[in-house]
Structures are given as C-alpha cells and as structure tokens.
Amino acid sequence: MTLHWFRRDLRLDDNAPLYYALKSGKPVRCVFIFDENILRPLPANDRRVVFIYRQIVQLNEQLRQLGSGLETFFGKPEEVWKKIVETRPVERVFAGEDYEPYAKNRDANVAKILNRRGATLTLVKEHLIFHKDEILTDSGKPYTVFTPYKKKWLSRLDDFYLKSYPTEKYFGALEKFSPPAPPTLESMGFAPDDGQTFPSPAPDDEVIIHYGERRDFPALDGTSKLGIHFRFGTVSIRQWASKARRLNNVFLNELIWRDFNAQILYHFPHVVEGAFKREYDAIPWRNHPNEIERWKTGTTGYAMVDAGMRQLNATGLMHNRLRMVAASFLTKHLLVDWRIGEKYFAEKLLDFDLASNNAGWQWSAGTGCDAAPYFRVFNPDEQMRKFDPEKKFILRWAPEYAQALAPPRVVEHAFARERAIKTYQSVLKK
C-alpha cells in the first residue's frame, strides 16, 4: 500500500507528491493529520485552523466522489504513524518537503518509524519552484544575497520547472474505501466554524497585471492576498508562477523571494533563534512592556502603524507595506527585539510562513541577509504621505485620526531615529 500524506499541499490538482504516489503502482490512500504539537498552543478561535478544516472537509468530499476518501487523524504525528503501520501493510509514504525545523525533525522521526516496518518516506518538492539546492553559487554554496540569487533563479527557469503534474490521469489508483468523518473542530478544542470569509484562491488577472503600480497603496485592492493559499498549498505555486511570468515580473519577483527565504531557512537554521548576522545578537533591546502593548493594539500615535496593526488584529490580514512600516517602527523606533514582533505576527497572520515572516522581520531590523542598513529608519509620517495621502486606509481602521483624537505619540521620530542609529553603531564598533 502507498499513502499520500497531505500537509502543505491541500489540493488534488497539480500536486507533485500525490502524483508520484498515484504512479507508484500500488493502491493509494490519502491521509491528513491534525498535528497536536502545532494545534495545542493555538487559541480556540484561530482562523487558520478553520481554513485548514474547511479544506480537509472539501478534500474528503472530492475524494469521496472518486470512490475514495481522506483518512483524518488528530494527534502527534509520530504516534499516529506508529498506529498506521501496525494496522496495514504500508510500503511507501509520499509527502511534500518542508524546511521548517519542527517539520524536519518530525519527518526524520516518522522516517525512522516507517523504516523499522520496511516502509519509506519520500519527500517531494511541492510548495517551491526551486528547492533548497537547485539554485547555488558557482562554487556550490547557498546564496545569501537576493539579487544574484534572483538572477540565477531566472536564468534556470524554464517550462520544465513550471510543468503541472496531471494527477487526474491517475485517480484510478486511489484506494476504494469510506473513511470516518474528520474529527470536529470542537473535539480538537477549537470553536466551531462561524462562517468567516477568506481571501479568494483566484484573484482577478487585473490584480496581477497592475501589481507593480498598486501593491504599495493599502487603500487599493492591489495585492493578490494569495499568501494563505501558498502557505497551505490550496493553489499551485507552479500555476501562479506561470501566470506571473506572463503578466507581471514584479509579482514573479515576490515568488522568487519565497524560494530565497525558504532556502535561507534550510541552510541557515540559526535564523529561527537569532540574527542571520550574529553580531547583531548583541543589540541591547529596550523591550519596554507598555510600548510593546501600544504597538500591538495600534495606539502608538502614528497613523500608518496603528491602522496596519488594527487591520492585522481584526482580520489576520496585513498589507505588506504596512508590515514593513510596523516592523521597522517596533525594532528601530522602540528598540524592541525583532523576535517579539515576529512572534506576534506568527500568532495573528493568516498567511504566517516561518521562512517569510522571519526574513521580513530580520530585513526590517537590519539583522538579516539582504539586510536594510541599520541607519535606514522608516518615517511613518512620510510613508503615510507617500502611500496613503488621502488617508483612506487609515481612516477605515483608525477613524480617530480624522478628528484630532489620535493617541499621544509613544516616541518622537527624530529622537527615536537618532537613538536607534547610535545603539546599532555602539554594537558594531565593538
């Protein structure tokens, strides 16, 4: 028997590991595990769990219409796989690659469990165009600067890497069985589905065509909002890269960033705990609790920061320009450790992805590869005048700014900028 383990590839079409499972020559059963290690720390109303749950229900129904189904578990993956291999003759398990430290450790443990029973775990590239070792320098080392990585990436890109995997041709290999219904959200400790809406998996082509000129203006509907779909694989990265290649190079550039960030996480896993440039770990962060709370609640007195944080808190969405402004403000104006901001975004963002979130925060803090220089400190007022001059977005989320009722500023820009530069300089001189 062959099993396909759904993870960051929650769809049937153009799914690489599912394709290889179906072509293995054995009956294929699809499984999904609600990972207790990941879910237990989450709040009961976590929106992302609802999103995943809906997709699992949909996948089960799609497979049921094909005479099969999705066998769904709730538990710790190692324990689940021990039970699976004890109750059926498993020979091969296919799944998508994942470079996050927890995932790498989990997969190593599961591989050992399978191996003891004479089975194998085969990991297949799925949520990236190029995997960890496909884009390397001429000396065979990973890139640590984006621009040369991008040039090599584009030079390697051809139709082969964007080719779809025709899973539908092999659906006849799916095992015919009727699994029990997936566990309910409530049985796993979560609130029931309240019917909330999520971004569409198929934004209009006009969004992509005009992405370059509209993406920085939060009042416009100028971004794809596909982050959550890329994160959980409800759309094909290959199909969207193909579309971006035809319609807009600026959008394609964002997909290259995803690949770049993922390979940085794989080759330099220390970035999860500390700065990519280790000397920046010596920065004496202030970490003032009251100021951190004002940043989280969108009451800093800076309209662009406050509106962005309130959008994040209310919806789980946050415009990318505002992510940069808010992150720069926390790390530079308030001198708060970037890991505190990274953790908060990880808790709130619908599209949270460890590699991209970590890279974004380290870029803003000036501690990462391709780092923004430490002396680059965004002026939130200038950002507002440039990207929301009519305050349409700001007044949607922070209406008090129209009535001169804004909270007092937590710190003045000129003072904060000078303090940040001096603090960084003092560390680098040492």
Q: Provide the pLDDT for residue 322.
A: 98
Query: CATH class for domain 272-429?
Result: mainly alpha
Tell me the per-residue pLDDT of 218-244, one tens digit each, with 9 for 90 and over.
999 999 999 999 999 999 999 999 999
> Alpha-carbon distance 28 to 172, whole Å?
9
Q: Provide the pLDDT for residue 372.
A: 67
Q: Residue ranges per domain, the chain?
A: 1-126, 127-163+204-267, 272-429
Dump the DSSP string for 214-247: HTT-TTS--S---HHHHHHTSS-HHHHHHHHHHH
Is the pTM here over 0.85, yes or no?
yes
> Alpha-carbon distance 342 to 367, whole Å?
13
Q: Provide the pLDDT for residue 289.
A: 98
**Residue 310: which residues within 8 A CB-CB, separation 6 or more?**
298, 397, 398
> Alpha-carbon distance 56 to 59, whole Å?
5
Sheet holding 28-35, edge to edge: 70-75, 28-35, 2-6, 92-96, 120-124
**CATH superfamily, with its number, for domain 1-126:** HUPs (3.40.50.620)
Q: Provide the pLDDT for residue 403.
A: 81
CATH number of 127-163+204-267: 1.25.40.80
User: Would you write out the chain's pLDDT as a tens digit for each of its 430 residues?
Assistant: 999 999 999 999 999 999 999 999 999 999 999 999 999 999 999 999 999 999 999 999 999 999 999 999 999 999 999 999 999 999 999 999 999 999 999 999 999 999 999 999 999 999 999 999 999 999 999 999 999 999 999 999 999 999 999 999 999 999 999 999 999 999 999 999 999 999 999 999 999 999 999 999 999 999 999 999 999 999 999 999 999 999 999 999 999 999 999 999 999 999 999 999 999 999 999 999 999 999 999 999 999 999 999 999 999 999 999 999 999 999 999 999 999 999 999 999 999 999 999 999 999 999 998 766 778 899 999 999 999 999 999 999 999 998 878 899 999 999 999 999 999 999 988 7
> Do the domains at 127-163+204-267 and 272-429 have one common CATH topology?
no
> Alpha-carbon distance 34 to 184, whole Å?
11
> Alpha-carbon distance 227 to 232, whole Å?
9
